[in-house]
């Protein structure tokens, strides 16, 4: 599969996964859901590893992967809490902040300053996020309705960092191994947190959620694996631009179709502005 094909395929896989996870948070708490999703993904990736039989990763792989796992746990939990607390069509567009944080991380981690176009893109994304829904920017931080949106902003921050960390790790290990190890690490970390709190009963999966969990695990493993294949040949910036543009556009439509969320002119304008900003801020630049 070419890098461009993998990029487009992973973008649609992530958009599909957003819908599945939004449905699953109705039946499972965020932490148990993270455990089961990661376990399922690790099993799917394990099959990929067996089929591919890649070599053992180089020593440098483990440090970058450990850092990605730690950040990934926090980002995934914030994401699932955000889905639980906010309307779907409001929560998902806030992930447009991922490319914004990616550009900002490029300064201390990659030694790269944003261009003028990237700076304008940051302004567009922030302006779009501030105008989502009623209440604007104040609503993002309000106690009544803003906690879910703040969770999504934190998830975007974490995922922007993991993208850089994963790119580093993949220089020393195969995508199949990284998919399996990453999910196993995040799943085990979340499981330890549940057991340590004495909440292991939360791991029980309601019957009505079993089918969706299986499908979500397969889609999630495919999305992550395709993403790792894509960033070997395509700039991370390009991959993120395609992912966020597809995800943002799908969120409003799916929110209306499956979750009966209203589509207003203001919301469409905000999403369009964020999507434009996400593309502009991601002018192609190489990770060092």
What's the residue count for the chain? 288
For residue 51, how many C-alpha atoms fall within 13 Å in the half-sphere facing its CB?
9
Query: What is the rounded CA–CA span in Å between residue 128 and residue 96?
Result: 9
45-92: per-residue pLDDT in tens?
A: 999 999 998 889 999 999 999 999 999 888 988 888 887 777 766 677
Contacts of 94 (CB under 8 A, 6+ apart): 82, 129, 132, 149, 152, 153, 156
Could you give the CA distance from residue 241 to residue 18 in angstroms, rounded to a whole number? 17
Q: What is the pLDDT of residues 10-39, one digit of tens each?
A: 888 998 898 898 889 888 888 899 899 999
249, 278 contact by CB (below 8 A): no
Cα distance from N-terminal residue to C-terminal residue, the chain? 25
Kindly state the tokens that stand for 187: 């799943």
More confident residue, 245 or 61: 61
- 3-state DSSP assignment of residue 288: coil
136: left (phi over 0), alpha (psi -120 to 50) or beta: left
Residue with tokens 């991922």: 98
Q: Which of 141, 174, 140 is nearest to 65 (CA)?
A: 174
Per-residue pLDDT tens over the stretch 113-150: 767 776 777 777 777 766 765 454 455 444 434 667 78
């Amino acid at each position: 599969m070419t890098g461009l094909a993998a990029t487009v395929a992973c973008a649609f896989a992530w958009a599909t996964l957003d819908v599945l996870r939004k449905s699953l948070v109705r039946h499972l708490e965020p932490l148990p859901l993270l455990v089961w999703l990661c376990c399922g993904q690790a099993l799917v990736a394990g099959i990929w590893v067996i089929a591919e039989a890649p070599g053992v990763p180089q020593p440098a792989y483990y440090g970058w992967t450990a850092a990605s796992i730690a950040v990934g746990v926090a980002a995934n939990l914030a994401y699932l809490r955000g889905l639980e607390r906010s309307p779907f069509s409001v929560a998902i567009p806030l992930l447009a902040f991922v490319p914004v944080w990616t550009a900002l991380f490029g300064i201390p981690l990659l030694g790269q300053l944003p261009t003028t176009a990237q700076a304008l893109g940051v302004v567009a994304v922030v302006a779009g996020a501030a105008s989502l829904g009623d209440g604007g920017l104040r609503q993002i931080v309000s106690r009544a309705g803003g906690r879910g949106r703040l969770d999504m902003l934190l998830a975007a921050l974490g995922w922007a960092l993991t993208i850089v960390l994963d790119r580093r790790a993949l220089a020393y290990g195969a995508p199949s191994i990284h998919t399996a190890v990453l999910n196993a690490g995040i799943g085990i970390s979340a499981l330890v947190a549940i057991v340590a709190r004495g909440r292991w009963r939360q791991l029980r999966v309601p019957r009505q959620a079993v089918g969706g969990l299986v499908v979500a695990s397969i889609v999630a493993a495919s999305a992550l694996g395709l993403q790792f294949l894509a960033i070997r040949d395509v700039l991370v910036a390009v991959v993120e631009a395609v992912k966020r543009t597809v995800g943002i556009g799908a969120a409003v439509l799916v929110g209306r179709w499956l979750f009966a969320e209203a589509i207003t002119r203001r919301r469409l304008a905000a999403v369009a502005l964020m999507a434009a900003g996400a593309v502009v801020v991601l002018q192609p630049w190489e990770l060092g």
